[in-house]
Amino acid sequence: MPAIIVDPVTVALFGALGDLALRKLFPALYQLDRAGLLHDGTRILALSRDLGEPAGYLERIEAALRQRIAEGELDEAVLARFLARLDYLGLDFVTRDGYQTLAERVAPELPVIAYCATPASVFGPICEHLAAVGLAPRTRVVLEKPIGHDLTSSRKINDAVAEHFPESQVYRIDHYLGKETVQNLIALRFANSLFETQWDHNHISHVEITVAETVGIEGRWGYFDKAGQLRDMVQNHLLQLLCLTAMDPPSNLAADSIRDEKVKVLKALAPIRRETIAQHVVRGQYGAGYVGGKAVPGYLEEENANPDSGTETFVAIRAEICNWRWAGVPFYLRTGKRMAQKLSQIVIHFREPPFYIFAPEQRSIITNRLIIRLQPQEGISLQVMTKEQGLDKGMHLRSGPLQLNFSETYKSARIPDAYERLLLEVMQGNQNLFVRKDEVDYAWQWCDQLIEGWSSLGDRPKIYPAGSWGPVASIALITRDGRSWYGDL
Ligand code: BG6
Give tens-digit pLDDT for 37-66.
Answer: 999 999 999 999 988 777 788 999 999 999
Q: In the chain, what percentage of residues exceed pLDDT 90?
A: 77
Mutation choice for ligand 1 from 230, 236, 237, CB with most ligand atoms inside 8 A: 237
> Torsion over CA of 60, 65, 67 and 69, rounded to 10 degrees?
180
Instruction: For Cα atoms 309, 341, 333, give the angle at the middle one, nearest 5 degrees.
Output: 65
Distance of alpha carbon 126 from alpha carbon 35, whole angstroms: 31
Confidence of residue 411 (pLDDT cuts 50, 70, 90): low
Confidence of residue 354 (pLDDT cuts 50, 70, 90): confident
Average pLDDT, the chain: 93
Q: What is the mean pLDDT of residues 14-20?
A: 94
Of the listed ranges 246-250, 304-308, 442-446, the one predicted with least confidence: 304-308
Distance of alpha carbon 430 from alpha carbon 423, whole angstroms: 10
CA–centroid distance, 231 to ligand 1, in Å, is 12
Distance of alpha carbon 440 from alpha carbon 435, whole angstroms: 7
Confidence of residue 75 (pLDDT cuts 50, 70, 90): very high
pLDDT of residue 358: 87
Query: Residues 161-218: pLDDT tens digits?
Result: 999 999 999 999 999 999 988 888 999 999 999 898 999 999 999 999 999 999 998 8
Radius of gyration over every alpha carbon of the chain, rounded to an integer in angstroms: 24
DSSP 8-state assignment for residue 88: E
Is the CB of 144 inside a 6 Å radius of any atom of ligand 1? no
- pLDDT at residue 119 tops 90: yes
Q: Alpha-carbon torsion 101, 105, 109, 112, what sign?
A: negative
Q: What is the mean pLDDT of residues 59-86?
A: 95
Is the CB of 425 inside a 6 Å radius of any atom of ligand 1? no
The residue nearest atom 13 of ligand 1, judged by CA position, is: 176
- pLDDT at residue 2 tops 70: no
**Sequence letter at residue 388:** E
Is the CB of 208 inside a 6 Å radius of any atom of ligand 1? no
Tell which wins on pLDDT, 201 or 377: 201
Is the CB of 213 inside a 6 Å radius of any atom of ligand 1? yes
Helix axes 239-246, 255-268, angle to 10 degrees: 100
SS3 380: strand
CA–centroid distance, 266 to ligand 1, in Å, is 21
**Cβ contact 181:417 at 8 Å:** no
Is the CB of 232 inside a 6 Å radius of any atom of ligand 1? yes
Q: What is the mean pLDDT of residues 122-148?
A: 96
* Residues with catalytic roles: 237
Ligand 1 atom with the smallest distance to the CA of 227 is: 6
- pLDDT at residue 238 tops 60: yes
CA–centroid distance, 388 to ligand 1, in Å, is 42
Candidates 397, 396, 395, 371; CA nearest to 383 is 371
Instruction: For Cα atoms 385, 387, 393, give the angle at the middle one, nearest 5 degrees.
Output: 145
Mutation choice for ligand 1 from 175, 224, 231, CB with most ligand atoms inside 8 A: 175
CA–centroid distance, 391 to ligand 1, in Å, is 51
Distance of alpha carbon 320 from alpha carbon 271, whole angstroms: 9
pTM above threshold 0.75: yes
Mutation choice for ligand 1 from 233, 236, 238, CB with most ligand atoms inside 8 A: 233
Confidence of residue 458 (pLDDT cuts 50, 70, 90): confident
CA–centroid distance, 53 to ligand 1, in Å, is 33
